Amino acid sequence: GHEMLTAADDRRHTLAPGPLARESLIFLLFLPEENLGMIAYTWVDGEGAASSMITVFGEDDERLVHHVTSGVAMDPQADFTDWQVGPMRVQHGEPHKDARVTFTQDDVALDYHFEAINEAFSYHDNADGCPGFLADDRLEQCGRVRGTLTIGERRIEFDTTGHRDHSWGTRDWTAFHHYKWVNVQSDAGDVAVNFMHGLAMDAEWELGYVHRDGEQSPVVSIEHHVERDDEFYAYTSARFVLTDEKGRVTEIETGRRTSLIVWPAGGLVSRDAASRCTVAGKPGLIHIEEGWVPEFVRHRLESAATRKTDQAAIGE
């Protein structure tokens, strides 16, 4: 059940001081038909310094917008009901129901409304629980997202599905060897999935939920098959099979990757990518974020490049 989460958890928490203490909100938008992805992110640390970031990206790590405002001193009383950091403003309505993100800077404007499809889910409801290095707690929620994104002359109206995450406490990304954080919604909004498969601190973590047929259930196992390219080490195709506590099996299969960004995140290197997909046999959207130890990816890409050179030499 969701006895862990309260209405207050949709708002700001008091953080213990410390270098890894932070609270963050992330809002996602993926538009495969436009080959675009958008991530809006704001966070505040244990000392009350707030930051915000918006990034809009195309295919193959093409950055169209990347704007960061960092280290804004925030009043301890300031709450997420109305939260402004630089050009980004986040407003929350009824707890766990709706939120709005707006951003205006130069020739870029975003007006993004989020309306929840399913109940907010806490990783504490998984058998593995929410490990201390990941957060005190975090809530995951899919929604209907509507609004407009303007970049210069390009104005895109959207009415699609999306995802948001809100986490607070210690955020120690260096605990991970690797993680996949995946968000999937059917176009109709009747299937909504969030899961994290992580290898961290010498253990495997399987977290998240499946919302189907009006019923939400924690994930108990995650089967994953991912093909990657040699240029970005990002997925070219992926298949996931999830089993939840109700015993339901949900299959997810990706289509062609339509947006990708590669960036450093908390000591790891991250890849965020998205595409159309099928989920439980229905058309939908998938977003896959993968975090890796940077050295590992470097080795893999160097190794792939060496193999190509060797094959070319043999071919001659």
295-316 pLDDT tens trace: 999 999 999 999 888 888 887 5
Give the separation between CA 306 and CA 194, rounded to whole angstroms. Answer: 37
Token pair of 195 as six digits: 């899961």
* Phi, psi values for residue 2, rounded to 5°: -110, 30
What pLDDT does residue 2 have?
A: 45
How many Cβ atoms from other residues are within 10 Å of residue 111's Cβ? Answer: 16
**Residue in 192, 188, 251, 253 with CA at minimum distance from that of residue 217:** 192
What pLDDT does residue 3 have?
A: 53
What pLDDT does residue 316 have?
A: 59
pLDDT one-digit tens code per residue, 179-224: 999 999 999 999 999 999 999 988 999 999 999 999 999 999 999 9
Tell me which residue has tokens 């190509």: 308
Token pair of 18 as six digits: 């410390």
Give the separation between CA 28 and CA 230, rounded to whole angstroms. Answer: 26
Token pair of 294 as six digits: 């940077």
State the amino acid at position 6 in one-letter form. T
pTM more than 0.75: yes
Query: Kindly report the CA angle at 204 between 202 and 206, in degrees rounded to 5?
Result: 155
8 Å CB contact between 272 and 261: yes
**Residue in 257, 243, 251, 248 with CA at minimum distance from that of residue 278:** 251
Give the separation between CA 26 and CA 135, rounded to whole angstroms. Answer: 14
For 155-277, where are the alpha helices, taking DSSP H only?
none
CA distances from 310 to 231, 271, 304, 313 (A): 17, 28, 10, 5
Give the separation between CA 315 and CA 223, rounded to whole angstroms. Answer: 37
**Cα 1 to chain center, whole Å?**
23
Average pLDDT, the chain: 94
**Which ranges of the chain have pLDDT less than 50?**
1-2
Q: Which long-range contacts (CB under 8 A, 24 or more apart) does 134-137 make?
A: 134/167, 134/171, 134/172, 134/175, 134/198, 134/200, 135/167, 135/168, 135/169, 135/170, 135/171, 136/13, 136/168, 136/169, 136/170, 137/4, 137/5, 137/9, 137/167, 137/168, 137/169
8 Å CB contact between 47 and 19: no
Query: Kindly report the CA angle at 131 between 245 and 100, in degrees rounded to 5?
Result: 80
CATH number 2.40.370.10 given to 7-315:
yes
